[in-house]
Amino acid sequence: MVRELGAAHLMAARLEKPLESCEERLDRLVDDLRENDLNRSTRLKIHTYVEKYKTIMHLYRKVRVSQDDGFKKLYKGFYKVRRGEPWCKTYFSELDKLKRHPMTFRKILQELCLLDPKHRVESSFASKMLATRYPQKYPPIDQWVLKNLDERLPHTDNKKRKIEEISQWYTRVVKCYHEWLVTKKGKWLVDFFDRRICPNSRIPKVKKLDFILWQARSRGKGR
């Protein structure tokens, strides 16, 4: 799945609304899908990226990702990682380390911030790292997810406070996803994915929802 999250754009936003209505927004997504089915080209596009995602996840379990150029090329293309070589070296080293040493989202944010010469708080890339290590539990967060959940990240110039607030925000998102996926509409969406998009994909339910949220950016454009 091609993803790109501009740090300046994302971090400049304010958290204007609480996440209590996350479930309602996901309900509206299902209502929209029921009224406006995804067209064939969109379904094929998602199917293609599901296969790319499965290849990345297979390689992640098999190789030392910090030293495997094939994995890094796939991962960077999939998530549109546009950073210099020093940053990428750090990122993939941390992704490797996560296999052996479990870290929380907050801890990953802290590590990436400390190791980055610009001390950026990389919420999107931190979530993608965690989602790669624990795909059954954690979703990646990017601008399309934020848009379709009608959410904005906390903004503050205090790095420690920003990390804490974004960590709390992400915890609520994860909770929302898992609670919603067991509802009637959540089950409908998973079934819709399995029937209409990618039968026998064998990817986590959280990832199926993520793919739908990603492609929901195309509403009104060819649906």
Mean pLDDT of the chain: 86
pLDDT, residue 150, reads 82
Distance CA 49, CA 10 (A): 24
Q: Considering the domain boundaries, does residue 90 fall inside one?
A: yes
Q: Considering the domain boundaries, does residue 71 fall inside one?
A: yes
> Which residues of the chain carry a pLDDT beneath 70?
1-20, 217-223
Tell me the per-residue pLDDT of 105-156, one tens digit each, with 9 for 90 and over. 999 999 999 888 788 889 999 999 999 999 999 999 988 888 888 888 878 7
pLDDT, residue 6, reads 39
pLDDT, residue 217, reads 57
Distance CA 26, CA 24 (A): 5
pLDDT, residue 222, reads 32
Q: Considering the domain boundaries, does residue 12 fall inside one?
A: no
Residue-range definition of the domain harbouring residue 80? 21-218
Q: Considering the domain boundaries, does residue 169 fall inside one?
A: yes
Q: Considering the domain boundaries, does residue 27 fall inside one?
A: yes
Angular region, 220: left φ>0, alpha ψ -120 to 50, beta rest: left
Give the number of domains in the chain: 1
Distance CA 108, CA 101 (A): 11
pTM: 0.83
Distance CA 140, CA 209 (A): 11
Q: Considering the domain boundaries, does residue 107 fall inside one?
A: yes
Distance CA 29, CA 20 (A): 16
pLDDT, residue 170, reads 94
